[in-house]
Amino acid sequence: MYNLLKGKRGIIFGALNSNSIAWKVAERAHQEGATFTLTNTALALRLGELNALSESTNSKIIEADVTVMEDLHNLFTQTQEILGGKIDFILHSVGMSPNIRKNRPYMEMDYNFYQKTLDISALSLHKVLHTAYKLDALNDEASVIALTYIAAQRTFPDYTDMAEAKAMLESIVRSSGFHLGNHKKVRVNSISQSPTATTAGNGVSGFDAFIDYAEQMSPLGNASADECADYCVVMFSDLTKKVTMQNLFHDGGFSNTGVSKTVMNKFGEL
């Protein structure tokens, strides 16, 4: 390891189990010398798996619903007390759509669910950064990463309201990157990750076939959760101080591929 995050303090949202992208980021950040708190909802904490990560990374767990301002206030206050200073990095690895959970097709979405999707998966990033700003909890040159998906730019059949949530999330990344950059040289970026077998990913119907499709479309193949963690570590490190307001595709080339030979061959030999 390279000690890329030595002395840096962070908050990692969204580790649920060992498949979670945030789980892998926590493990890598720990290896690189960071200290951080882990946070998730009461429900996620009751599932009980986070304790193992807390032990292996020597980090405290603080319960917070990312949509509740009081929870976020408490999270930032407690984190600074526990870690002994302001925050250098934040991973927003949170997403949930009740419409997807209930298998509602795009043209039959429930609007209360829809608003919940936007609140949890997009507006929450604004709430997190608003709280950090009000409490002056971020260090100069802090780095914020939110995880997103290419459905923000292109339509996929069963991603329903999460597509709009990701488009909004990426817009909040740009706007907050502008304002926090001017304020304290804080950088804010999103990483647009390949389809990855996690609890959230598997909730999208036909996900296995979709992973195979993306694998065969991408010149480098799908990016794994571990590889995403590597990328997050680089983005939290001092090696990327001038990268901000970007949506960074981490997808093995999927986003710029029209069609691959492997996929074309399924329709007849080239």
Binding footprint of ligand NAD on the chain (CB under 6 A) = 14, 16, 20-22, 40-41, 44, 65-67, 93-96, 120, 147-149, 193, 195-196, 198-201
What is the rounded distance in angstroms from the CA atom of residue 16 to the CA atom of residue 23?
Answer: 7
AA identity, residue 255: S
Q: Any residues with CB less than 8 A from the CB of 76 and at least 6 apart, and which?
A: 11, 87, 131, 132, 135, 137
Closer residue to ligand NAD, CB minimum distance, 32 or 65: 65
Q: Decide whether 22 or 217 has the Cβ nearer to ligand NAD.
A: 22
Phi and psi at residue 72, in whole multiples of 5°? -70, -40
| Residue 14 burial class via C-beta count within 10 angstroms: exposed 0-12, middle 13-18, buried 19 and up | buried
Q: Residue with CB nearest ligand NAD? A: 201
Nearest to 102 by CA among 87, 91, 112, 92: 112
CB of residue 129 to ligand NAD, shortest distance in Å: 15
Cβ distance to ligand NAD smaller for residue 92 or 187: 92
Q: Give the residue with the Cβ less far from ligand NAD, 42 or 264.
A: 42
Which of 67, 139 has the CB closer to ligand NAD? Answer: 67
Q: Which C-beta is closer to ligand NAD: that of 70 or that of 238?
A: 70
Least distance CB 94 / ligand NAD (angstroms): 4
Q: How far is the CB of 185 from ligand NAD (least distance, A)?
A: 25
CB of residue 98 to ligand NAD, shortest distance in Å: 10
CB 11 within 8 Å of CB 92: no
Least distance from C-beta 269 to ligand NAD, angstroms? 31
Least distance (Å) between residue 30 CB and ligand NAD: 17
> Edge-to-edge strands of the sheet including 247-250?
61-63, 35-40, 9-13, 87-92, 138-148, 187-193, 247-250
Q: How far apart are CB 3 and ligand NAD at their closest, in Å?
A: 26
CB 38 within 8 A of CB 10: no
User: Which one, 2 or 106, has the nearer CB to ligand NAD?
Assistant: 106
The residues that bridge with 63 in the sheet, in sequence order, are 40
Instruction: List, in sequence order, every residue forming a beta bridge with 37; answer none if it has no partner.
Output: 11
Element (H, E) at 65: none
